[in-house]
A and B are shown apart, each in its own frame.
Chain A
Amino acid sequence: MQYLLTLHTAESGWAQMTKTDQEQAVGAYRAFTEALKQAGVLAGSNRLQPVSTATTVRVANGKSQVLNGPYADLKEQLGGYYLIDVADLDAALAWAARCPAASHGAVEVRPVWGMPG
């Protein structure tokens, strides 16, 4: 069953880190991805560019509205995702706990609707 792990961290934290710490953080994410591959459960993942690059679109009454910025202006923003294919929610939660984002932000775990047929 597929689960989407969305990563929510405070972007300001990154700028405040030393270069060594940043390299280590990148290494930690790389290792996490490697572990997911090794376990054969990785279905996809991506890191998103900062929220300053986000644009939000709504369409109401036939009129489109485009705003600069992310959907929700929160202290912790969506920074990336992992799509994994595991046996059950417990397994998905175990992986979420290993994701580096979980230790300085939050990882939301949500099941994906199964494919029809």
Chain B
Amino acid sequence: MSSRDGDAQARTTADAVARRSYGKLIAFLAARTRDVAAAEDALAEAFAAALADWPEKGCPANPEAWLLTVARRKLIDGARRVAHRQDAAAELQMLAEGIDAAAAASGIPDRRLGLLFACAHPALDAGIRAPLILQVVLGLDAAAIASAFLMAPAAMGQRLVRAKHKIRQARIPLRIPERDELCERLAPVLDAIYAAFAEGWVDPTGADVARRDLAEEAIYLGRLVTALLPREPEAFGLLGLMLHAEARRRARRSAGGEYVPLAEQDPALWDTAMIDEAEAALLHASGLGAIGRYQLEGAIQSAHMHRRRSGEANWSAVVELYDALLRLSGSPVVAINRALALAEASGALAGLQAMDAVAGDPRLNEYQPYWAGRADLLAKTGAHDAARHAYDIAIGLARDPAVRHFLQLRQSALKGSRHG
């Protein structure tokens, strides 16, 4: 084998292992010491060693075990070097025992769930949990995560370092919480996964590679959590919600790149397999007997899908689902979406009145969908000047040029419109 072939094969194997096992290896290496950063460093060095070693000696039969052995050696070496720590000896022992025990077992146990719970621990700042999960469990790099969440890469890097430091210093356990705490502790894990998904969903065509992967990664995590916690209804609710949204990706843009709202999408372009999987997840959740926010959001997406496919209006049912959602979360976003559904069911004026009830909430000031929805309802009630202004704000707040263009067309269609 030429050296270039050897290099290429080593890289392909290493990439494949990283793709499927990164989180597993990190979770395993960090489980006892709670030192996620050290685990990442040790694993990074192990990958570097693999890329140097495998081209010459050939790829090992069990690359995960190879990497684990090398990473563990580097971890122990690293711990030895920290001579001033009083509990270094105890830690060294814990490390060696823990990793030996696993090496003796047939495979690397999946500790990713414990890692997910640690990353979403209440002691960590809510805004860092999703980025932390993406980096630590999926191995995404800080720059890509920063871009996705619209943060400065340097700032993101620092915040991630601080978060991992806190996990170690505060001794946050990398462990699945006890039964009585599980439901409560699961919510921030699901919220973090959904936050990652929402960022990925901002890129409708999937043209932005980093973003498209983010939605896929979130769905991967969603599937992982449902596989590891098969009796948690909200986990299935979240998966159903994400799959329904993702199934419509291809229909969201016309052939010419124009934005296509849900009401105008061609259901034939939706991903049937994903929709089926979503429906199965939501059905499974409903059998577990504990309704929650994600199941309700999933049910709403399911209702939209059914309505578009069958042609039968079901807006009253959608409003009822939003009523239930509003009782669970006082979120103004939910109130706005409910108002838009109410407008479909009972007319634009009813929708506007519902919107006005929450219009004073400062969180809505920079919330683009609020202004776009408001503009639409104002236009329908004949308040064209107010609609024009609301469209201006909606256009100004939009990040996506296709959405801007769509709103501008709607704005210029208003009677007496001066602007082109």
Interface-forming stretch among A5-13, A45-53, A54-62, A88-96? A88-96
B161 touches A (CB below 8 Å): no
Distance in angstroms between the alpha carbons of A105 and B26 in the assembled complex:
39
Please indicate the chain B residues that have their CB under 8 angstroms from the CB of A28 in the complex: 395-396, 404, 408
Interface string of A24-45 (1 = CB under 8 A from B): 1011101111111011000000
- Chain B residues 383 to 412 lying within 8 A of chain A, measured CB to CB, are 389, 391-399, 401, 404-405, 408, 411
| Pair B392/A93 contact, Cβ less than 8 Å | no
| Contact present for A34 and B396 (CB under 8 Å) | yes
Expressed in whole angstroms, the minimum distance between the Cβ of B372 and any Cβ of chain A is 12
Q: How far is the CA of A36 from the CA of B392 in the complex (A)?
A: 11
Closest residue of chain B to A91 (Cβ to Cβ) is B366
B420 located at the interface, meaning its Cβ lies under 8 Å from any Cβ of chain A in the complex: yes
Interchain CB contact under 8 A, B398 and A98: yes
* Contacts of B223-244 to chain A: CB distance below 8 A: none
- Residue with the greatest number of chain A CB neighbours at <10 A, chosen from B150, B391, B398: B398
Which residue of chain B has the shortest Cβ distance to A33 in the bound complex?
Answer: B396
Q: Known contacts being A27-B419, A39-B365, A89-B155, is A98 close to B150, with CB within 8 Å?
A: no
How would you classify the secondary structure of chain A's contact residues: helix, strand, loop or mixed? helix
- How many residue pairs at the A-B interface have CB separations less than 8 Å? 67
Partner of B150, one of A23, A31, A32, A90: A90
CB < 8 Å neighbour of A98 from B365, B397, B408 = B397
- Tell me how far the C-beta of B127 lies from the nearest C-beta in chain A, rounded to whole angstroms: 9
> A20-B420, A27-B419, A32-B396 given as contacts; is B405 within 8 A of A89 (CB)?
no
Enumerate chain A residues within 8 angstroms of B365, measured Cβ to Cβ: 38-39
* B393 partner residues in chain A, CB cutoff 8 A: 31, 34-35, 38
B94 within 8 A of A: no
- In the complex, what's the smallest C-beta–C-beta distance from B26 to chain A, in angstroms? 27
Q: Does B151 contact A (CB under 8 A)?
A: yes
In the assembly, what is the distance between CA of A104 and CA of B411, in Å? 22
Complex alpha-carbon distance, A35 and B364, angstroms: 12
**A24–B408 CB distance below 8 A:** yes
A16 on interface, CB distance cutoff 8 Å: no
Cβ-based interface call for A112 (8 A): no
Whether A35 pairs with B392 at a CB distance below 8 angstroms is yes
* Minimum CB distance partner of A40 in chain B: B365
Given contacts A23-B420, A24-B420, A27-B408, is CB(A97)–CB(B396) below 8 Å? no
| A91, B391: Cα distance in complex, Å | 22
Contact B404 A100 (CB under 8 A): yes
Q: How far is the CA of A35 from the CA of B151 in the complex (A)?
A: 21
Residue B182 CB within 8 A of the other chain: no
Write the B127-154 contact mask toward A (1 if CB under 8 angstroms, else 0): 0000000000000000000000011100
- Asked whether A64 is an interface residue with its Cβ less than 8 Å from the other chain, the reply is no
Q: Does A65 contact B (CB under 8 A)?
A: no
- Give, as a whole number of angstroms, the nearest-CB distance from B143 to chain A: 14
Which residues from B are CB-within-8-Å of A103? 401
Contact of B405 among A24, A34, A35, A94 (CB under 8 A): A24
Write the chain B residue with the least CB distance to A89.
B152
Q: Which residue of A lies closest to B407 (CB)?
A: A31
* Cα of A30 to Cα of B391 in the assembled complex, Å: 11
Whose C-beta in chain A lies nearest to the C-beta of B150?
Answer: A93
Partner of B392, one of A23, A26, A34: A34
Inter-subunit contact A97/B395 (CB<8 Å): no
**Contact indicator A90/B151 (Cβ below 8 Å):** yes
Inter-chain contact B150/A97, CB cutoff 8 Å: yes
Determine the distance from Cα of A23 to Cα of B401 in the docked complex, in whole angstroms: 14
* A24 contact set on B, CB distance < 8 A: 405, 408, 420
Distance, CA A27 to CA B411, complexed state (A): 10
Task: Report B369 CB to chain A, min CB distance, Å.
Answer: 14
Chain A residues within 8 Å of B, Cβ to Cβ? 20, 23-24, 26-28, 30-36, 38-39, 89-90, 93-94, 97-98, 100, 102-104
